[in-house]
Structure 1
Amino acid sequence: MNGGKALALENYCKKMQHPYVRFEYCGATLHDDCLDDITLGLWKVDLLTVLDKLTSGPQILVGSSMGGWLSLLAAMEWPERVCGIVGIATASDFLATKYEKYLTEEQKRELDETGRLSFADPDSGSITKNMVEESRRHHLLTRTSIPVRCPLRFIHGMEDESVPYKISLQLAELSEADDVDVILRKNGRHRMSEEEDIRLIVTTLDSLIKRLSCT
């Protein structure tokens, strides 16, 4: 909630007098002792609950990494409440893909045997076997189409070290929406947290809000 992107969006919305909600997913700021209970499905419930309890009417969702994936899932679940999405380095199908393609054999063995894997990079946190397996129920890239029809804006750095930018291209192709833009930053990395990255995100949201206010 206190990241640069979230705060910049809050400042923009205050300035433009747009309602704005930012929140933490269950367990996102807690210690690893609660990690075993966390799944992508639980986070989707968190998002839908926030929409239900803290907002009214159609909403634009802005999600970074896993948040972009969850935004698409929410739009599939509740299309009348999601009128647009800005996905930043959208990490669709990321957990299983990371397990299959990017973990070393030693890391896979640790995850399979202990049910949990902690990464050396503290920013990467930990994952559990349960989280990986449950996430397969929510895969989008294996579908023939993604039933999301609201306007979509995908922003992705071509130097993303965690989630290949081609995932955003795939999501754009698979979505059933007609109004879809993919914006690539040649030198952008996964966090998209540089000043110029954040400026692009805010500008993209502003443009989408103006686009939707005209329909």
Structure 2
Amino acid sequence: MKKTSDTPTFTTPQGRKIAYHLTDGTGPAVVFLGGFKSDMGGTKAVYLEDWARKEGRAFLRFDYSGHGESDGAFTDGAIGDWFEDACAALGLIAGKVVLVGSSMGGWISLQIARAMPERIAGMVTIAAAPDFTEDSMWGSFTDAQKAELAQGQVALPSDYGEPYIITKRLIEEGRNRLVLRDPLSLPFPVRFLQGTADADVDMSVALRLLDHATGPDMRLTLLDGADHRFSDDTCLTLIEQSVTEVLHAAG
């Protein structure tokens, strides 16, 4: 997605320029965190923005550095950079937020919950992919791919277009961001959403996350036949219902 002149931006403490769209409304604000190499113009983000506008609810969507309309090269980034971008984006909003994290955005949401639980009123994850650089990527690499990565990067085929260029830094830096190895407290309403036909994030990941995290109000919903995009009408309705439920439970 090419940046347009009227897209607002802010600069993170690390000096990265981030594009965003903020809808005014009542709090807690709903914040959408997108997936790996996706952008804030995706179906789920725009659907939720439309819903929030109708509800008079504050809503934020943004692009991580190297994604969408934000500055930077995708291959220069790593999970920690995008986590820092998300934390800086929360600085645009006063008060508590409800995080809606899709795929990698689910992992980043969990990191935010660990780093600043006092900011979080609730959370909805959609095909969350915690620790995917280690468990899904590194864990499935062949010896040849690991050797290639040691030289700097390796290309992985993608169902979504061009191959993913996976850098050595992405894998190594991701090891500092893992959330499934140590206790993970989610002291607020949480709804995990997962499709049974997801070819990118297996259902076992959702079950592992539910079993690993601790919290007073955590629920996992499996949607039969839904794929990783989780963007058809049934999926979008479930996302909306889940966000509404979390907002109600959060009071």
Please say whether Structure 1 and Structure 2 have the same fold, judged by a TM-score greater than 0.5: yes
Distance 1:149 1:100 in 2: 31
Structure 1 position 180 matched with structure 2 position 218: yes
User: 2:77 aligned with 1:38, yes or no?
Assistant: yes
TM-score by length of 1: 0.90
Q: 1:125 Cα shift?
A: 2.8
- How far apart are the structure 2 equivalents of 1:58 and 1:48? 13
Secondary structure, in 3 states, of the residue corresponding to 1:168? Answer: helix
User: Cα deviations across residues 131-166 of structure 1 (Å, max 9, x unaligned)?
Assistant: 1111011112222x2022121110011111111122
Question: TM-score, normalization: structure 2?
Answer: 0.78
Quickly say closer, same or farther: Cα 1:62–1:97, change in 2 above 3 A: same
Report the count of equivalent residues.
209
Equivalences for 1:104-183 in 2 at 5 Å? 104-113=142-151, 115-121=152-158, 122=161, 125-143=164-182, 145-183=183-221
**Match of residue 83 from structure 1:** 121
Runs of 4+ in 1 over 6 A off after TM superposition: none
Aligned position for 2:140: 102
Query: Are the equivalent residues in 2 in contact too, given 1:35–1:128 (CA < 8 A)?
Result: no
Cα offset, 1:73, TM superposition: 0.4
Once residues 229 and 250 of structure 2 are traced to their aligned partners in structure 1, the CA distance between those partners, rounded to angstroms, is 27
1:50 counterpart = 2:85? no
SS in 1 for 2:109: helix
Distance 1:188 1:147 in 2: 28
Higher helix share: 1
Counterpart amino acid of 1:130? R
- Percent of residue pairs bearing the same amino acid type: 33
What is the CA–CA distance in structure 1 between the aligned matches of 2:57 and 2:162, rounded to whole Å? 31
Deviates more, 1:100-109 or 1:60-69: 100-109
Give distance in 2, aligned partners of 1:140 and 1:4: 27
Secondary structure at the residue paired with 1:21?
A: strand
8 Å CA contact 1:61, 1:71 repeated in 2: yes
Q: Secondary structure at the match of 1:19?
A: strand
1:12-45 deviation line (CA, Å, top 9, x unaligned)? 10011000000000111379x8244311111111
Point out the structure with the larger strand share.
2
DSSP 3-state at the match of 1:169: helix
Structure 1, 129-138 or 169-178: larger mean CA deviation = 169-178
Residue 123 (structure 1) shift: 6.0
Structure 1: runs of 5 or more not aligned? none
State whether residues 92 and 139 of structure 1, in contact with CA within 8 Å, keep that contact through their aligned partners in structure 2. yes
